[in-house]
Structure 1
């Protein structure tokens, strides 16, 4: 069982497991789920290479052989050297195995087959395990769990891999999976790790639907134009209008289009005038400042017109609608307004849903559960490129902005509903069960320092390298080309890449080193043209070499280098030789571009932290912290996770050690204080110039000298995030024993290992504890 939050990569893990099972000799897979819409969506993800959400490489190579993905209707259709997947609903699987049909899979067919069963939304598979069943579950008892068990037992080598975001809490079910869970990553952890949007509840006192229509459209348009203003591309916020019944949904769509047609500047003026919401006030200010206000009506009418709408209740258009609904993030998909009832509560893959509008005025317990499910789907973070945040970094997929930053509007999901305190309170409880919660509109809280001694910190800056045009790139390009592992290029395969573990990359079983003169000069000349690398560019980049034309460049520089080719690579075909040359020159060009995009990081210098005039934005996400007297700011009430609370408890339990060592000390919870950001200055590190904002900083004053400061940087990090933050660990280690001076002031810097719990969150990292005692338990200073 893989218990993984919605949006955390369940289907991607599934795809990886399919490849691993294939590597171990399994060729036939049966994927099943309870919902037709999820089934069709997954079928596209696994089999449609033209889909933007296709999960496999263009060419799949397993055990040094090309492998294809095939969707089959019968195990008799199974292809050799292929991954064969039979897609079915649970209900369809039961019918298939229990009712004889021509050309259908039967239980008898399974006896000689080695199969992998992939069960998505597997919480529906526990009707037999549960002790207490309601009427519908009782009728499904034989349909679902038992028929899967029966199919699984047909061959001793069969595998069942289950996936769910919500395993039932019944004791019998928990007992069943006790020793079967391979991975657990709950929505609560997913959210605390910032992979979710912030969720806001916007409550409307006016019960007219038109007010909610306008609020959602203003919210969506503001987010879109704000992204455009900051050069953030492909940012199309979508709106979901949720009705109670199908006929209501169709009627509400008609009413929405009539509202748009009749919208006037006076409607907007009244809306902003009576709105007390800080978010809408920020939207109004933005529209005014950017001169959008005079054209706002026309903008709203154009952006949300009927041609960009989908109604999921139109059965005739359902198949087409589901394709569009599962590709809303695509540039060429214009749809952004969805009208629905319950079809999208489960299995809907969407990242750019930013507004959910509840159109029903009265609410029930059943409604809160469904709406919480829907909010859980929409809460997944929509990643976008901005400044240093690139898709190769984990931070690209996490929330980036403090709530006080205007760009935090691009990281919020707004739930629009009639003001009903009882309903909202109940919905809040349902969300808490899922591990989510509403954020209250930001409040700016001034921070009062508890300590008066001078706090020193290390500071540096990063700037674009000013010597780009005077630099020679011979060495970095040489390192890159010599470390290449060129994928196999062969007939009938455009590009065939073997994805081995890092330790196998240099294994001569797979690769052999050859000098690049194996590829004749004329192919490199053609490749340089195809990659738009002219003589002038090469001359500037490779100053060490005295060449007068491109031929000279290839002869003097390229041809002598050695790189690694696949053991089966042939060098006897014109087309293949050109592809090899293009691949190598492409890597040369990529290295040049990367080198020219580099920053220079200045040396660390000592600065004093100004503790006055600081503030933070408080929200409901923030958990109360005991008012420890050693916290620098007594009003600081912001924590991102339970791990940070445990860190503060650890400090409090060991405060006597710190009291003994220092004259004065305090701990700052770093709430994005920009001046405290330091940049990685480890030369030749792939993370050079990346910014680091430590979670906690310990400031201390020694007994001996009031001008001698002691600063220690500390990070509380979840075990699953530790690998992606390894460079921060390296940077913290580099700070060890660094001393900075400025006039009569001196600062000792220290960096502790990550504060991490291992062994399923039960054991504190021994490395941290040992380092803490080593640094702080010696004599006073």
Structure 2
């Protein structure tokens, strides 16, 4: 079989052929709360290449975005709607498998007051305001609006087969080009999986057949499908999507990139009520940890039953348990949890550190988990009514803490603060090591619950809100906000089943291991550890002190308007009192330069007023020396020095209409805005370095590591040649007991071992410390954070004042060099530009950065040369 579409684009991406700046029509019109993630940008880059440059694109594209649960497919849908609008599409058909999802989808697309609204408060495309509205039919809709018809697959099929007045019909799709957007699109393959009779194949009056029939009605229709779970193991489905999967972003990659919670399977040989109580205690523990760190988090528990009757019984049992909860019951649960590290930590934090007595804790739980904060969603009618409430569980005024369900929330549930799923039954359907249908559905529900709860980490203010932050600090209290606990009974066979299912879906990494990285006792007793300092810089808002004009952002002031003046323009604008039609001329087109300022203050002011970026308060952010909006318009350093080349017929260029001048001005302003935003830097790294006690920064760590090549393997397990000849535990200069780093990190430690004798001739002592979130530096030019892999401390001999050198060292594999070269450039700047109090508390400090270490090639030559000079004084 030939390369699939996804494989073709993977190959193009490898050589950088897909990289492009996303259009402002997309980025400026999404909600200000939305910052596109790298993989979402990748999906959009592929889309733009496919639409604009891909030779194999059919006139009516049918594409699938196969993307992980929780990866923000609806954000991508919104971005594509904006891009398709600028390409002339106005009508969109959005359909999903289940009607119960429709209301929350409308809320996300249409309600600006919703916390999950997808669009900017005012959508502007081609400098016009664009409405987004729901419609029942595409007949007589607003031709300048984004018109969306929301429906379920069942409802769509019924409308096509049983048409009614004032509803969308098959004729709508003959008369108007429509973009069809299918969420949870794997349901469209119901018939693809089946072997049909000749009659069935001809009629095919099915959901899949209905969608295909609509798609064929207009030559410019599009069908865009989105799902996380298309069954590509099925031969017919794999063949169907061979040339349609534009982007494949798996749940496994999503988890490895840090965008999901980690899953912890908790099995307890306890009855359902006791498991519910455990989950309640852990949920409250999460809430208290978040509050202690200034974070708002209201954790939610899902109680999963097998049948509706059992769910109702379990809800009643939970209510009775909470109502009768006592301090004695909690004390008993704590006493029985001695072997449960997580639950013991929760009780210790709440009752010991926070000083909450058993009776007070019981009363608190009764208030937080009372009946009014519990909901059962097994009634379909009730569930549809509650969709918006269930889609806003993170909101401060939404007090739901517990949800009882059977299987009504398996799809379309976008919840971020679900941290506990309690399985209240003990059956399994796995056979002969094969995952059963029910177990796979449970794994998919776990994947939905594993959506990450975004938060700003107080100790990592620059870390991404939406990514895990504590894989390398498993003992940090906030790690509990990065885990989803799946509570089930003690059943080893079921645990194996659910592990297999999670492994298949990509949510469980069997190569992950938790390790303890301990500082050697001998190092902890040294004077360097007890009394010396590590020097680091900080970052601050870019003051833009040197910005005095457009050239500071590499904007040269000359532009070329891309549109040819045709000679026929009808004008009816804010700048004219009537209409003017210019007749064509037989003369050849020429180019003419115009000073933008010559178009007049009225034109320039109108264009600037229509764009928030050019309002004075916004301009002052990027141009702090700007005194007034008038200066921006008239000064040669700003718009006064801008010229634009326009090509057209001589007579037309001599008599540009106000509408044309406005279009040209808006184009130039758009180019300036894009250039400023592209070159602007929000933060810079300070050049003043400050001291921090080594003992406060470097501590014992608990890490979660993926075994990938050498990474995650201990020194004794390493396959790097020659390491077995080095007893790392006996090397006092290596501060930590072990090394779990990459092959290059281990090669570097071996290099240090080979230099030991020479270093001891020069220094009283030297210590190499692996940097696990202990030291963070900030690039001087852009403020980007950088955590060098190692810090080497060298203390010189024979000095009246102890002289301490601090070297930042980064071993780097060749595959990471291109995107990380800025780090090497920054390390080179440290020696020259870093400022510190060189004599501090009787010590003379020097800080240096060295070139990347790599065992082979030029990188190794550069590193060794620098090490000889800076460390060995050669």
Q: Which residue of 2 aligns with 1:430?
A: 501
Is 1:215 paired with 2:309?
no
User: Hey, what's the Cα distance between the residues in 2 that align with 1:637 and 1:368?
Assistant: 38
Distance 1:510 1:432, change over 3 A: farther
User: Hey, what's the Cα distance between the residues in 2 that align with 1:89 and 1:557?
Assistant: 55
**Contact between 2:687 and 2:780, CA under 8 Å: does it hold in 1?**
no
Select which of 75, 79, 82 maps to 1:12: 75
Deviation at 1:37, TM superposition (A): 2.5
Distance 1:386 1:777, change over 3 A: closer
Alignment of 1:280-319 (within 5 A): 280-287=343-350, 288-294=352-358, 295-319=360-384
Select which of 397, 412, 421 maps to 2:467: 397
**Contact between 2:262 and 2:484, CA under 8 Å: does it hold in 1?**
yes
User: Hey, what's the Cα distance between the residues in 2 that align with 1:7 and 1:253?
Assistant: 28
Q: Deviations over 1:14-73 (max 9, x none)?
A: 100000000000000111121223333222211122211110011111122111111111
Is 1:238 paired with 2:300?
yes
Distance 1:555 1:19, change over 3 A: closer
Matched residue count: 660
Q: Which residue of 2 aligns with 1:322?
A: 387
Unaligned 5+ residue runs, structure 2?
1-63, 431-436, 556-572, 575-593, 607-616, 619-623, 645-656, 660-679, 730-736, 758-766, 795-803, 833-837, 869-874
User: Hey, what's the Cα distance between the residues in 1 that align with 2:812 and 2:465?
Assistant: 16
**Contact between 1:240 and 1:339, CA under 8 Å: does it hold in 2?**
yes
Distance 1:674 1:58, change over 3 A: closer
Is 1:250 paired with 2:348?
no
Is 1:185 paired with 2:249?
yes
Which fold has the larger relative contact order, with Cα–Cα distance below 8 Å and residues 6 or more apart in sequence? 1
Is 1:56 paired with 2:94?
no
Out of 709-718 and 337-346, give the one that drifted further.
709-718
Q: Which residue of 2 aligns with 1:81?
A: 144
Out of 181-190 and 100-109, give the one that drifted further.
100-109
Distance 1:148 1:478, change over 3 A: same
Alignment of 1:57-456 (within 5 A): 57-130=120-193, 142-168=205-231, 169-207=233-271, 209-232=272-295, 234-275=296-337, 276-287=339-350, 288-294=352-358, 295-365=360-430, 366-387=437-458, 389=460, 394=464, 396-400=466-470, 402-437=473-508, 444=516, 446=518
Alignment of 1:583-732 (within 5 A): 602-603=688-689, 616-617=702-703, 625=713, 627-629=718-720, 648=743, 663=755, 673-675=772-774, 677-682=775-780, 685-687=782-784, 690=785, 692-694=786-788, 696-697=789-790, 712-714=809-811, 730-732=822-824
User: Hey, what's the Cα distance between the residues in 2 that align with 1:190 and 1:658?
Assistant: 34
Alignment of 1:437-516 (within 5 A): 437=508, 444=516, 446=518, 459-462=534-537, 475=545
User: Hey, what's the Cα distance between the residues in 2 that align with 1:290 and 1:167?
Assistant: 48
Deviation at 1:368, TM superposition (A): 1.8
Distance 1:56 1:670, change over 3 A: farther
Deviation at 1:91, TM superposition (A): 2.2
Unaligned 5+ residue runs, structure 1?
492-506, 520-529, 532-541, 546-552, 571-590, 640-646, 702-706, 756-767
User: Hey, what's the Cα distance between the residues in 1 that align with 2:140 and 2:227?
Assistant: 30
User: Hey, what's the Cα distance between the residues in 2 that align with 1:422 and 1:79?
Assistant: 59
User: Hey, what's the Cα distance between the residues in 2 that align with 1:123 and 1:777?
Assistant: 56
Q: Which residue of 1 aligns with 2:102?
A: 39
User: Hey, what's the Cα distance between the residues in 2 that align with 1:328 and 1:202?
Assistant: 24
User: Hey, what's the Cα distance between the residues in 1 that align with 2:847 and 2:254?
Assistant: 38
SS at match of 1:86: strand
SS at match of 1:75: coil
User: Hey, what's the Cα distance between the residues in 1 that align with 2:513 and 2:332?
Assistant: 21
**Contact between 2:791 and 2:806, CA under 8 Å: does it hold in 1?**
no
Deviation at 1:323, TM superposition (A): 1.1
Q: Deviations over 1:118-140 (max 9, x none)?
A: 11111222234446699xx9999
Distance 1:151 1:557, change over 3 A: closer
- Scaled by the length of structure 1, the TM-score of the pair is 0.70
Distance 1:305 1:773, change over 3 A: same
**Contact between 1:601 and 1:680, CA under 8 Å: does it hold in 2?**
no
Deviation at 1:181, TM superposition (A): 2.4
Q: Deviations over 1:531-586 (max 9, x none)?
A: 9xxxxxxxxxx9x99xxxxxxx9999999999779x9999xxxxxxxxxxxxxxxx
User: Hey, what's the Cα distance between the residues in 1 that align with 2:597 and 2:745?
Assistant: 51
Out of 306-315 and 235-244, give the one that drifted further.
306-315
Q: Which residue of 1 aligns with 2:826?
A: 734
Deviation at 1:318, TM superposition (A): 2.4
Distance 1:57 1:460, change over 3 A: same
